[in-house]
Amino acid sequence: VSSGTPRRRVGILFGGPSAEHDVSCVSAMALLRALPAERYEATAIGITADARFVLPAVDLDAPVVDTGSAMDDHLVAAGRAVALVPGHDPSTAAVVGLDGTGEVLAELDVVFPLLHGPFGEDGVVQGLLEAVGVPYVGSGVHGSAVGMDKVSMKRAFAAEGLPIPPYRSIREADWLAKPDVDALTEGLAYPLFVKPANMGSSIGISRVTTADGIAEAMALAFVHDDRVLVEQGVDHAREIECGVLGGPEPMSSPPGEVRVAGDWFDYQLKYFSPGDPMIVPAQLPEAIDARLRELAVQAFQAVGADGLARVDFLYDDEAEQVYVNEINTMPGFTAHSMFPKVWAADGIPYHELAGRLLDLAFERHARRRRLVDPA
Ligand SMILES: Nc1ncnc2c1ncn2[C@@H]1O[C@H](COP(=O)(O)OP(=O)(O)O)[C@@H](O)[C@H]1O
Ligand SMILES: [Mg+2]
């Protein structure tokens, strides 16, 4: 980059109304600290738990507090109320104060929606960014929506012939009209996992070992969504995750493993268990390693993802059988998260990964503009 190259103005959206608000606040701070100031001019835009957009106070000179638990050095989504609107120049966004002055507080060339879960990762914010017309990191509306909704996601995987555990889905109205456990679970072997279609962070998910537990698990899942998935548990499951990076020709990272202490990776373990349960790269037979990397790209393409994703697998260690569990189109991006770690294992350090994601956002925007306007 020559000294004459203008700095790219990057907006980082963080926080948001989902259960993963705090993870996002940590990711945003890590990203802000990592973006080289000579190439990027970053503006952090917080989204509060009740989905208002605000400009927070950011102090990058404050000492980094890193105790290894990944939850200490973070931004706070609070501050002056703003709106994100189309900018004066084409393909830019403006951050406008909502305090009556209508002042333009920042202009953006690209937005990094560093948000997880419903609202930020499911196409809602992506739709806003499409409407504003600014390039943004990651999947579009469709890929985000299909990736977030477990029913649509499993259907997309199944349609592409990807190996997934047997499952059934049911709507709340149909379950309430006829809560027949035998019909629901016919052909599925226990333990079963009962999951709301549209959540994340293991919230609303139950592991059920006998038919007696189904009704309660269904009631819990229906608190979070009106469609629920009942899925056969994978025996001896090791949890392996692969990063995917790119556009039309994406590449996958070496797999990493999350060592789960309990029966499964529930909310408590995910966010509140001490220590570092990640093994990167995962220790796997060579053929399995290659198979996972191939399946990760296929899963990415099956849901129409773009830019980045983390594909999570369940690996039955005894049968040497691999299952795709899910795709996350905006994976955790703290310094301690799996996605940056697996790429670091492949020789791409955190700050370089961030730069590549921003480049991919511009490439995707250019591709899509050609589709809209072939001239
Ligand atoms: N079919 C399954 N077999 C074994 N364990 C599972 C299965 N489905 C989910 N789990 C366990 O539950 C956790 C959460 O399920 P997941 O589908 O990944 O939901 P979330 O989107 O909330 O992360 C997984 O990390 C894993 O520990
Ligand atoms: Mg998961």
DSSP β-ladder status, 40-47 and 53-55: antiparallel
- Ligand 1 centre and the CA of 234: distance in Å? 10
Ligand 1: atom nearest CA of 323 is 1
Taken in order 100, 102, 107, 108, the sign of the CA dihedral is positive
- Ligand 2 centre and the CA of 293: distance in Å? 18
Q: What are phi and psi of 352, to 5 degrees?
A: -70, -35
Ligand 1: atom nearest CA of 165 is 1
Ligand 1: atom nearest CA of 265 is 27
Which one of the ligands is nearest to 239 CA?
1
Rounded Cα distance, 233 and 214, in Å: 14
The predicted model scores a pTM of: 0.94
Residue 233: DSSP 8-state:
P
Q: CB–CB of 42/32 below 8 Å?
A: yes
Mutate to test the pocket of ligand 1, among 121, 198, 325, 327 (most ligand atoms within 8 A of CB): 325
Residue 212: DSSP 8-state:
G
Alpha-helix runs per DSSP H in 280-349: 286-302, 338-345
Cβ < 6 A, ligand 1 pocket: 165, 193, 195, 199-202, 205, 231, 233-234, 237, 239, 260, 264-265, 312, 314, 325-326
Mutate to test the pocket of ligand 1, among 18, 162, 205 (most ligand atoms within 8 A of CB): 205
Beta bridge partners of 40: 8
Residue partners of 229: CB distance under 8 A and separation at least 6:
150, 151, 154, 167, 168, 169, 193, 194, 195, 196, 197
CA-angle at 11, arms to 5 and 13, nearest 5° = 155
Residue 211: DSSP 8-state:
G
Q: Kindly state the tokens that stand for 160.
A: 């592409």
Rounded Cα distance, 102 and 116, in Å: 29
329, 280, 260, 234 alpha-carbon torsion, rounded to 10°: 70
DSSP β-ladder status, 110-113 and 167-171: unpaired
Q: How far apart, in Å, are the Cα atoms of 92 and each of 83, 124, 260, 325?
A: 14, 19, 43, 37
- Ligand 1 centre and the CA of 57: distance in Å? 37
In 3D space, the residue among 301, 144, 169 whose CA is nearest the CA of residue 227 turns out to be: 169
Rounded Cα distance, 257 and 322, in Å: 13
Residue 255: DSSP 8-state:
P
- Ligand 2 centre and the CA of 143: distance in Å? 17
pLDDT score, position 66: 67
Kindly list the averaged pLDDT for each block of 10 residues, start to end, along the chain of length 375.
78 95 92 94 97 92 70 86 97 95 94 96 97 98 97 97 97 96 96 90 90 96 94 94 96 94 73 72 97 98 98 96 97 92 97 97 94 70
CA atoms within 13 A on the CB side of 350: 19
